[in-house]
Amino acid sequence: MDRSGSRPHTAAAAATLANSCPSRKTMTAPKLLPITLVLGGARSGKSRYAERLAEAEPGPCVYLATAQAGDAEMAERIAHHRARRGARWRTEEEPLQLPARLQAVAQPGAVVVVDCLTLWLSNVLLNNLDVENYCEQLVAALPRLAGPVILVSNEVGLGIVPDNALARRFRDAAGRLNQAVAAAAASVVFVAAGLPLVLKRPD
């Protein structure tokens, strides 16, 4: 210990430990791959993280929204998000036929952000459509897309078991959809409290 009361080389040792810590490495945004899945809870920062990934690329950005403005509050929220993204973004809306719309808008040189899969899934459920078939069509379309796509989805299975059958069906379907998309994606990132944790990357 030196006269100042600190241990010698403490700063250097701390820097070495910080640089070797795996948790710090997860905070670095990964290079964009053809299919990226970004998971997280409500208000976790997952959508903003997905947007930053897209904006790091040189080409135009397409925001493919699955939400529907069912009331004034949702319409105001959609307008706010569109204004925040700015002029570089082109917004498309598709509440149901997501695989077909993705194939139309995913082009070389552009980045598409789909926000989000769980809203799309709820639209499919509430319209009494074949959930399994729609999800299979989406997963099958992913390898055929011509440009990079970032898919945003909620992780809804970490809380309590819902108290009604429809909510339980939605939770289970969302979990299965997330697993299927994660298996097809080249990169999977989980976002919590605004911090990304890389779950899957090529070796």
Q: In Å, how far are 2, 8, 9, 10, 138 from 5, measured between CA atoms? A: 6, 9, 12, 11, 62
**Residue 92: is its pLDDT beyond 60?**
yes
Q: For 12-32, how does the pLDDT look when each residue is reduced to its tens digit (9 = 90+)?
A: 333 332 333 333 333 445 578
What CATH topology corresponds to 29-200?
Answer: Rossmann fold (3.40.50)
Domain spans in the chain, listed from the N-terminal domain onward: 29-200
CA 19 – CA 117 distance, rounded (Å): 35
Write down the mean pLDDT value for the chain.
85
Mean predicted confidence (pLDDT) in 29-57: 92
- Does position 7 have pLDDT exceeding 60, yes or no? no
pTM score, whole prediction: 0.82
Instruction: Determine which one of 54, 62, 63, 81 is catalytic.
Output: 81
* Helix/strand/coil for 122: helix
Active site residue 81: yes
Give me Rg for the CA atoms of the chain. Answer: 20
CA distance 61 to 54: 7
Residue 75 DSSP SS3: helix
* 9 burial type by CB count under 10 A (0-12 exposed, 13-18 middle, 19+ buried): exposed
Q: Which residues, in sequence order, are CB contacts of 79 under 8 Å at separation 6+? A: none
Find the range with the poorest average confidence among 5-14, 79-88, 175-184: 5-14
Task: In whole angstroms, give the CA distance from residue 169 to residue 115.
Answer: 21
Question: Looking at the predicted structure, is the pLDDT value of residue 183 above 60?
Answer: yes
Question: For the residues 28-41, what does the mean pLDDT come to?
Answer: 84
- Mean pLDDT, residues 106-116: 96
